[in-house]
């Protein structure tokens, strides 16, 4: 998993398996969270977001879970594909600014 | 829409040189941001702007300046380049519908800057 400020952890999964990427945030006042995907040499790309009044949100093949009690956020990717290989960042909104975690490198194995 | 565009893609500077990183968005977003990303790390906010004529410091503003004369453009200026400014710089924009809200930020492709 990942915490804001730590160096890059890694996660390897088999193609077709589900991936779970974790993120711990520190500010209990944060009210908005986003997951971004960053492929090598590119800018971050929005995947999914969730506001603090929700505990789950689903997109296409992705689900974000928010546990405010333990200040934990996770991104679940169903049926992981080779194109999902990238660095995934969580970001939390604090004082109208986004604070990014250091990211998790996801590698999809054939 | 082209989204957020940045120029140049790559640049090498000598210590003490200056340059401007360009950023343009065509989505009519009111908020714009500059981040830097060091290897293996997350993004750190340098400066942001909530509208034309209004800018504010982020987490790491030292050594940088910005201006926002139009909605579309948000250039980042490095006056005296230092090796510590070697990084990848990303510009982003968002449409914030009310003060205090934060909506999705859309990022440009980045500028890779090396200071030697």
Check: CB of residue B112 under 8 Å from CB of residue B11: yes
Q: How many CA within 13 A on the CB side of residue B22? A: 7
Nearest partner of A88 among A21, A12, A6, A14, judged by Cα: A21
Query: What confidence category does residue A2 fall into, taking pLDDT thresholds of 50, 70 and 90?
Result: very low
Nearest-by-CA chain B residue for A43? B109
On the question of pLDDT at B78 being above 90, the answer is yes
Instruction: Return the pLDDT at A4.
Output: 47
Intra-chain end-to-end CA distance of chain A, in Å: 22
Contacts of B24 in chain A (CB under 8 A): none
Q: How far is CA B109 from the centre of its chain?
A: 11
Unique residue bearing structure tokens 């879970």: A65
Integer Cα distance of A92 and A97 in angstroms: 8
On the question of pLDDT at A56 being above 80, the answer is yes
Contacts of B57 in chain A (CB under 8 A): none
Q: Which of A41, A42, A98 is nearest residue B105 as measured by Cβ atoms? A: A98
Which range is least confidently modeled, A26-30, A67-71, B4-8? A26-30
Tell if the CB–CB gap between A44 and B4 is shorter than 8 Å.
Answer: no
Instruction: State whether residue B45 sits within 8 Å of chain A by CB.
Output: yes
Torsion of CA A91, A9, B41, A3, to 10 degrees: 40
pLDDT in tens, A94-105: 766 788 887 899
DSSP classification of residue A79: S
Instruction: Return the pLDDT at A100.
Output: 86
Per-residue tokens: A50: 């969730």
Integer Cα distance of B5 and B17 in angstroms: 24
**Chain A residues whose C-beta sits inside 8 Å of any chain B C-beta:** 4, 7-8, 32, 34, 36, 41-46, 49, 89, 93, 96-98, 100-103
The helix/strand/coil state of A84 is: helix
Q: Which of B100, B101, B110 is nearest residue A43 as measured by Cβ atoms? A: B110
Integer Cα distance of B96 and A32 in angstroms: 13
Tell if the CB–CB gap between A45 and B107 is shorter than 8 Å.
Answer: yes
Of B76 and B94, the structure prediction assigns the larger pLDDT to B76
The whole-number average pLDDT for the span B75-104 is 85
Residue B15 CA: distances (Å) to CA of A90, B61, B88, B111: 34, 18, 17, 18
Contacts of B107 in chain A (CB under 8 A): 36, 43-45
> Which phi and psi angles does A82 have, rounded to 5°?
-55, -35
Query: What confidence category does residue A31 fall into, taking pLDDT thresholds of 50, 70 and 90?
Result: confident
pLDDT in tens, A9-24: 899 999 999 999 999 9
Integer Cα distance of B106 and A40 in angstroms: 17
Q: Is the dihedral of CA B4, B7, B9, B12 positive or negative?
A: negative
Query: What confidence category does residue B104 fall into, taking pLDDT thresholds of 50, 70 and 90?
Result: confident
Contacts of A36 in chain B (CB under 8 A): 107
- Chain A and chain B share a number of CB contacts under 8 A equal to 52
User: Rounded mean pLDDT of chain A?
Assistant: 88
Check: CB of residue A24 under 8 Å from CB of residue A4: yes
DSSP classification of residue A102: -
pLDDT in tens, A62-92: 999 999 999 999 999 999 999 999 999 998 8
Query: What confidence category does residue A1 fall into, taking pLDDT thresholds of 50, 70 and 90?
Result: very low
> Which phi and psi angles does B47 have, rounded to 5°?
-145, 160
Instruction: State whether residue B39 sits within 8 Å of chain A by CB.
Output: no
Please confirm whether the linkage preceding A101 is cis (ω < 30° from 0): no
Determine the residue among A98, A102, A104 to mutate to test chain B binding: the one whose Cβ has the most chain B Cβ atoms within 10 Å. A98
Instruction: Return the pLDDT at B98.
Output: 55
User: Rounded mean pLDDT of chain B?
Assistant: 91
Instruction: Return the pLDDT at A5.
Output: 40
């Amino acid at each position: 998993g990942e915490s804001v400020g730590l160096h890059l952890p890694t996660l390897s999964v088999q193609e077709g398996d589900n991936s779970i990427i974790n993120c711990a945030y520190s500010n209990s006042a944060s009210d908005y969270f986003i997951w971004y995907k960053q492929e090598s040499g590119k800018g971050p790309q929005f995947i999914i977001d969730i506001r603090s009044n929700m505990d789950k949100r689903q997109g296409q093949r992705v689900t974000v879970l928010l546990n405010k009690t333990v200040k934990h956020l996770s991104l679940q990717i169903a049926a992981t594909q080779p194109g999902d290989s990238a660095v995934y960042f969580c970001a939390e909104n604090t004082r109208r600014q986004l604070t990014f975690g250091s990211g998790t490198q996801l590698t999809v194995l054939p | 829409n082209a989204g957020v565009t940045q120029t140049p893609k790559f640049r090498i500077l000598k210590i003490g040189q200056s340059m401007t990183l360009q950023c343009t968005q065509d989505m009519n977003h009111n908020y714009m941001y500059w981040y830097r990303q060091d290897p293996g790390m997350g993004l750190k906010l340098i400066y942001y702007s909530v509208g034309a004529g209004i800018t504010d410091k982020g987490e790491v503003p030292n050594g940088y300046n910005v201006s926002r004369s139009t909605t579309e453009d948000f250039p980042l200026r490095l006056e005296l380049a230092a090796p510590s400014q070697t990084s990848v710089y990303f510009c982003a924009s968002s449409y914030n519908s009310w003060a205090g809200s934060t909506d999705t930020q859309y990022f440009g492709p980045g500028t890779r800057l090396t200071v030697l």
